[in-house]
Amino acid sequence: MKLLVIGSGGREHALAWKLAQSPRVQKVYVAPGNGGTATETGLENTVLSSFPELINFAKKEQIHLTVVGPEAPLAEGIVDAFREAGLAIFGPTRAAAQLEASKDFAKQFMARHGLPTAKHASFTRAQDARAYVEKQGAPVVVKADGLAAGKGVVVAASVAEAMSAIDRMMLENSLGAAGARVVIEEFLEGEEASFIVLSDGAHALPLATSQDHKRLRDGDRGPNTGGMGAYSPAPVVTPGVHARVMREIIQPAISGMAKDGTPYVGFLYAGLMIDRASNPQTLEFNCRLGDPETQPIMLRLKSDLLGLLEHALAGTLEHAEAEWDRRAALGVVLAAAGYPEAPRKGDEIRGLPKPAEDCRVFHAGTRLDGGRLLASGGRVLCVTALGDSLKLARRRAYAAAESIRFEGMQMRADIGHRALKK
Ligand code: AMP
Ligand code: GLY
């Protein structure tokens, strides 16, 4: 059978690669894909993007199942459109994707269903937001309501910084419509983790835990990015924390969405903050897999991913089980010069290591130009490796990254530092 993956990042390369391992799968198309999905065995790129084009393609090619990587098409209703056309697609509907697409919706949802999360208030007028910050003091967190590709959150250390974030979002429209409404949130302390599950609308199957590194530079300094590296599992999610997250956050979220008439089918990603006393709080929901978390998670997944997705679509996830490699996995992102503000495109990439059982390079912002591989986006590659311990996975990933060269390449040297300190 043939599958279709929508997206062009490292997450989609890892997803498509994993789906192509299924003995039942003959080919996985990736729309639009990247330089890695163009050359990977079993994958083929197709340069389509509008929903009608994708729907026609899925019909013509008799695609068994379409899997959506990024949040934007989900929030625009790609799942509704495919379903209306009678096509199988994995992901939340437009209504369910509001859990990520509107922070105000997500906060109201969490309050309504009793999920632990930071105290908040929402505003559509800058003067009201400013007055609230004046009263609350700092540190405080200012969040644009809508999708802002990772640029919508400012953790403000001072009242002045919070005020300027409010002004940029609400008065100068720096994020367009996404910043017309702003959520102001209590600052939470602790360690973050990514908790991603498969949901069939009623049951959740947790994937392996992971942790991302959002800042550009070593020691978690510098500007926020989409993520500079990730590893799995995340030791901060102990078995006790895991059980609480399932009971206090994941299950209430899935039953809450069903009760509200918008059942959630798809990957559901809870961004957690875990405090010193191991209490988990929900920072955010994403309606998709994480990038780069997916890369180490897919390297550890031993089960047939297609089988798990079919269970989720059939509503039978309680009978499914996911088997994980006991080894740890760690992925290091290689980013382009100028990322995240203004990534430079066109630098030639050389020295990619050959894929091995315990190490693969997933592509993100790359494209083929004749025989050359060029950087074409902010995050260019994610070198991902397995090891008997996190330390060994890290050593393997960095050793593989060593041979890769492109002009202006940015790479953090300390992926995994939190877990390794434990
Ligand atoms: P979000 O997109 O809501 O996950 O926010 C992006 C990043 O901002 C998170 O990964 C955290 O590092 C940080 N952040 C968000 N909300 C809070 C909060 N209430 N307290 C502390 N840090 C936060
Ligand atoms: N790596 C964070 C995210 O995918 O949202």
**Ligand 2: residue whose CA is nearest its atom 4:** 290
E-strand stretches of 275-358: 280-286, 328-335
- Residue 153 Cα, ligand 1 centroid: separation in angstroms? 7
Ligand nearest to the CA of 213: 2
Instruction: Give the separation between CA 174 and CA 289, rounded to whole angstroms.
Output: 27
Token reading at 225: 């990015």
**Ligand 2: residue whose CA is nearest its atom 5:** 290
- Residue 226 Cα, ligand 2 centroid: separation in angstroms? 6
Pocket of ligand 1 from Cβ distances under 6 Å: 118, 141, 143, 153, 155, 185-188, 192, 214, 271, 283-284
Q: Which atom of ligand 1 is nearest to the CA of 152?
A: 2
Residue 122's pLDDT is what? 92
Q: What is the pLDDT of residues 397-420, one digit of tens each?
A: 999 999 999 999 999 999 999 888
Q: What is the pLDDT along the chain (422 residues), one digit of tens a residue?
A: 999 999 999 999 999 999 999 999 999 999 999 999 999 999 999 998 899 999 999 999 999 999 999 999 999 999 999 999 999 999 999 999 999 999 999 999 999 999 999 999 999 999 999 999 999 999 999 999 888 877 788 999 999 999 999 999 998 888 888 888 999 999 999 999 999 999 999 999 999 999 999 999 999 999 889 999 999 999 999 999 999 999 999 999 999 999 999 999 999 999 999 999 999 999 999 999 999 999 999 999 999 999 999 999 999 999 999 999 999 999 999 999 999 999 999 999 999 999 999 999 999 999 999 989 999 999 999 999 999 999 999 999 999 999 999 999 999 999 999 888 87
DSSP line for 18-43: HHHTSTT-SEEEEEE--HHHHHSTTE
- 100 within ligand 2 shell (Cβ under 6 A): no
Of 396, 213, 398, 208, give the one whose Cα is nearest residue 302. 208
Ligand nearest to the CA of 192: 1
Dihedral angle, C-alpha 374, 375, 380, 381, nearest 10 °: 20
- List, in order of start, the domains of the chain with CATH numbers: 2-93 (3.40.50.20), 125-180 (3.30.1490.20), 191-319 (3.30.470.20), 328-421 (3.90.600.10)
Q: What's the helix, strand, coil split of the chain in %, to 5? A: 35, 30, 40
Ligand nearest to the CA of 331: 2
Residue 179's pLDDT is what? 83
- Residue 95 Cα, ligand 2 centroid: separation in angstroms? 21
Ligand nearest to the CA of 143: 1
CB 254 within 8 A of CB 264: yes
**Ligand 1: residue whose CA is nearest its atom 9:** 283
- Residue 373 Cα, ligand 2 centroid: separation in angstroms? 25
Give the C-alpha distances (Å, rounded to integers) separating 342 from 31, 151, 164, 225: 24, 13, 22, 12
Residue 55's pLDDT is what? 98
Q: What pTM did the predictor assign?
A: 0.96
Instruction: Give the separation between CA 321 and CA 402, rounded to whole angstroms.
Output: 37
Residue 224's pLDDT is what? 87
- 71 within ligand 2 shell (Cβ under 6 A): no
Q: Which atom of ligand 2 is nearest to the CA of 293?
A: 1
Give the three-state DSSP class for 311. Answer: helix
Residue 173's pLDDT is what? 86
**Ligand 2: residue whose CA is nearest its atom 2:** 290
Residue 291's pLDDT is what? 97
Residue 351's pLDDT is what? 97
- 40 within ligand 2 shell (Cβ under 6 A): no
Residue 177's pLDDT is what? 85
Give me the sign of the Cα torsion angle 261, 265, 271, 275: positive
- Residue 147 Cα, ligand 2 centroid: separation in angstroms? 13
- 331 within ligand 2 shell (Cβ under 6 A): no
Token reading at 12: 């989609």
Residue 62: CB atoms within 10 Å: 8
- 293 within ligand 2 shell (Cβ under 6 A): yes
Dihedral angle, C-alpha 304, 309, 314, 315, nearest 10 °: 110
Q: Which atom of ligand 1 is nearest to the CA of 118?
A: 19
Instruction: Give the separation between CA 401 and CA 406, rounded to whole angstroms.
Output: 11
No. of H helices and E strands in the chain? Answer: 15, 22
**Ligand 1: residue whose CA is nearest its atom 6:** 153
Ligand nearest to the CA of 116: 1
Q: How buried is 164 (Cβ within 10 angstroms: 0-12 exposed, 13-18 middle, 19+ buried)?
A: middle
Ligand nearest to the CA of 291: 2
Mutate to test the pocket of ligand 2, among 216, 291, 295, 333 (most ligand atoms within 8 A of CB): 291
**Ligand 1: residue whose CA is nearest its atom 8:** 153
Q: What is the pLDDT of residues 137-162, one digit of tens each?
A: 999 999 998 888 777 889 999 999 99
